[in-house]
Structure 1
Amino acid sequence: MSERLPEVADLAAELRELELATQPWELHGALAGWIAGGGQINRRWVADVLADPALADVVEGSALEALGKATFAQMQDSSLGFELLMPDEDASLEIRSGALFDWCRHFLGAFGLAAGAQPKLSADGEEALEDLAQLATATAEPEGDEEDEAAFTEIEEFVRVAALLLHGDCALAQQHRNRLH
């Protein structure tokens, strides 16, 4: 696999330091949506993804820079090595599923910013986008059992694959079209 995502704690500390009211998984979801929709990664990516031009540029060597580089590299990786940035596995199922639903909400917002109102999607891409929208409206249950844990793992894998599918439909297809012209 290509680059590794930064640690959640490092990213959370940097977000607090910058006074950004967002969780690491929310920002990662937004970043993944931005990239999937064809958005560019540069020093201004945080301002672009969060739609706030007043935000400062990404600092070299920061956790934000590592997040941008790793996420872009993972989404471009032909071995499908893309990972979701989530709370630690020892966090409760409620916290992890809530984070996954937040990830989906932020993915959709930034995907819309980058891809526009009517992106050219395959039938599978349309279905994936609809499913992500449904997950974005879900709420975490306070308790869960082994069956819920297994369902969470399946949903997390679906979200990962859906993000890659949308990236293929929008960003990679656009890159391919640009190379042909």
Structure 2
Amino acid sequence: MPELPDFADIAQASRQLGLAVDTAELHGALCGWLAGGGANVAAWPARVLADDQLPEPAAGSPLDELRLASVAQLEDRGFAFDLLLPTGGSSLDERAEGLFAWCRGFLGGFGLAAGADAPLSEEGQEALQDLARLARATPESSEDEEDEDALAELEEFVRVAVLLLHGDCVLGPRHRRSLN
């Protein structure tokens, strides 16, 4: 299973390509696009960020590797999907803000790809509403172990919610087409 590129490498590649978006939010937007049924294309930043002027990442670049790893992880039946977030060396507040930014990006990408009439299950609708609540959240300054545990639980919830939405919008329709 391909691993996500390093957070710092994506941040640098994003700056070099002129993408004015936070690294976690960029990965969230890519995953939202893919989970909503958006096309897996090399020129993904232009689609995901709704700006046709953005250049295509070079083949083999960290941004290209991010796309390929994200697609493979979302398609994996073993639930090996990961979120690209600030590392453990970052403060709890920075990591929480990264998660909230990831959710904001996801909602944007998902909305662009899935549109207003996404084929969501009841659980998918609830998951999308919960992701929207997280996208509006702001971290509260704290560094205790309970907050570390809560952030880890939120990250796991987001991971599972994304897989559920991908299942509703991509895997379910693909499966139904193959049965017909």
- TM-score, normalisation: structure 1: 0.96
Partner of 2:136: 137
SS in 2 for 1:148: helix
Runs of 5+ in structure 1 lacking a partner? Answer: none
Aligned letter for 2:82?
E
Runs of 5+ in structure 2 lacking a partner? Answer: none
Take 1:112 and 1:18, find their aligned partners in 2: how far apart are those partners? 24
Partner of 2:52: 53
Tell me how large the CA RMSD over aligned residues is. Answer: 1.0
Q: How does 1:90-101 map to 2 (within 5 A)?
A: 90-101=89-100
Moved beyond 4 Å, runs of 4+: none
Partner of 1:43: 42
**Does the CA contact (< 8 Å) of 1:75 and 1:82 recur in 2?**
yes
Aligned letter for 1:78?
R
Partner of 1:69: 68
SS in 2 for 1:130: helix
- TM-score, normalisation: structure 2: 0.97
* Alpha-carbon displacement from aligned partner over 1:62-111 (angstroms, at most 9, x marks no partner): 00110000000000000000000011112100000000000001101110
Give 1:43 deviation, angstroms.
1.6
Partner of 2:77: 78
Give 1:179 deviation, angstroms.
2.2
Take 1:159 and 1:64, find their aligned partners in 2: how far apart are those partners? 22
**Does the CA contact (< 8 Å) of 1:38 and 1:174 recur in 2?**
no
SS in 2 for 1:21: coil
Aligned letter for 1:77?
D
Partner of 1:121: 120
Take 1:180 and 1:81, find their aligned partners in 2: how far apart are those partners? 26
Aligned letter for 2:24?
W
